[in-house]
Structure 1
Amino acid sequence: MDRLALYTFGVLKRPLADSGALTREFYDMGKGVYGEIGRQPGYVAHAVAAEGGRGAHFEADWGVWGEFAVPEWYGKGRTAETTALAATLSLWAGLRSAFDAIYSGLHRTALNRRYDWFERSGQPNYVCWWVSDGSTPTWRDGVSRLEHLRDHGSAPHAFTFHHSFAPDGTPAPAAYGR
């Protein structure tokens, strides 16, 4: 059975190592979001670094999720002190479970605050695609799919919830905000 891969990417206004109130608030909200998301029906897994502190994305060991990668439009720092991004890579049982988790609860609250923390880049900030059961998407896969979405729009290869596709490549039902 295929699973849904979901990659998210955003450029933060401040580096992750920043000690300001908004950065602390972002981290605090994130802890709660991850805890809640992990208990959602249909959640399978998400990329977690073996070790690492704030901003250590590029230097971290991500195991089967591969070497950390970012879209070509990310132009900020790459060290623990200068990295200013938030990225996630996760697996879901299907579209409905991922959609429901993203657009409800604490994550919905965080989405409503996104412009407090993130720059408005004009680039897509997430992408979905299907992977076969037993496969683990990599960060490079997520970046490649996000860049494909930016360049070509939603297609079975890379899509959004609002213009989604079933594993067989047919358009998904309009239940996801079409």
Structure 2
Amino acid sequence: MPQLALYTFGVLKAPLADPGPLTRELHDRGESVYPEIARQPGYVAHAEAAPGGRGTHFDLDWGAWGEFAVPGWYGKGRTRERVALAATLSVWTGLRPARDAIYSGLHREALNRRHDWFERTGHPPYVLWWVADRVIPTWPEGVARLEYLHGRGAEPYAFTFRRSFAPDGTPGAR
């Protein structure tokens, strides 16, 4: 049975290394949100770097999730001092469980504050697509689908919760 892949990407107003209160608040919020998301019905897995890795997102070993990648329009930097991004890659059993998890609880509260932490880029902040059961999506695939969504709009290849598709390509799947 196909599963749903979800890639999110946002450009932060300040680098992750910034000691300011907004960056600390974002980090602290993430520490609470991720465990709550992982307990939601329909959650399968999310990309995690191998334990013990050092460096930025770009330097870490992501295993089967592939080499870390970002959209071509991201230009804030790749060094520890300059990285200013938040990205996630996860797998879900379906659209409804993913949507319910994203738009409720602590994650919903964080979404309500997104403009405090993230720049408005004019690009979609997330993309969805279907993967075969037990297939692990990769960071480069997530980037490609997000860029596709930005350039061509929602289609079965890359879509959003608002303009979704069933695994067979039927529009309006819920």
Smaller-chain TM-score bracket: over 0.9
Return closer, same or farther for 1:52/1:81 CA change in 2, 3 Å cut-off: farther
**Structure-to-structure mapping, 1:34-45, within 5 angstroms:** 34-45=34-45
State the partner residue of 2:171: 171
SS of equivalent to 2:10: strand
Residue-pair matches, total: 173
1:105 Cα deviation after fit: 0.3
1:51-77 deviation digits (Å, cap 9, x = unpaired): 446x71000000000000000010111
Percentage of matched positions with identical amino acids? 70
SS in 2 for 1:58: helix
Instruction: Write the letter of the residue equivalent to 2:168.
Output: D
3-state DSSP of counterpart to 1:142? helix
2:131 match: 131
Q: What is the alpha-carbon distance in structure 2 between the residues aligned to residue 166 and residue 111 of structure 1?
A: 25
TM-score (norm 1): 0.95
Q: 1:52 to 1:14 in 2, by over 3 A?
A: farther
SS in 1 for 2:57: coil
> Alignment partner of 1:7: what SS?
strand
| Partner in structure 2 of residue 161 of structure 1 | 161
RMSD: 1.0
CA drift at 1:6: 0.1
Distance 2:77 2:69 in 1: 13
Cα shift readout 1:114-164 (whole Å, capped 9, x = no counterpart): 000000101111000000001100000000000000000000000000000
Equivalent residue number for residue 21 of structure 2: 21
Letter in structure 2 aligned against 1:169: G
1:1-178 matches, cutoff 5 A: 1-50=1-50, 51-52=52-53, 56-173=56-173
Give the superposition deviation at 1:81: 1.4
Residues 72-100 of structure 1 show CA distances to partners (whole Å, capped at 9, x for unaligned) of 01011101111000000000000000000
Which consecutive segments of 4 or more residues in structure 1 shift more than 4 A? none
**Structure 2 residue ranges without an equivalent (≥5):** none
Task: List per-residue Cα deviations over 1:2-54 (Å, max 9, x = no partner).
Answer: 0000000000000001111111100000011101000000000000011446x
Distance, in Å, in 1 between the alignment partners of 2:35 and 2:59 is: 24
Residue type at the aligned position of 1:168:
D
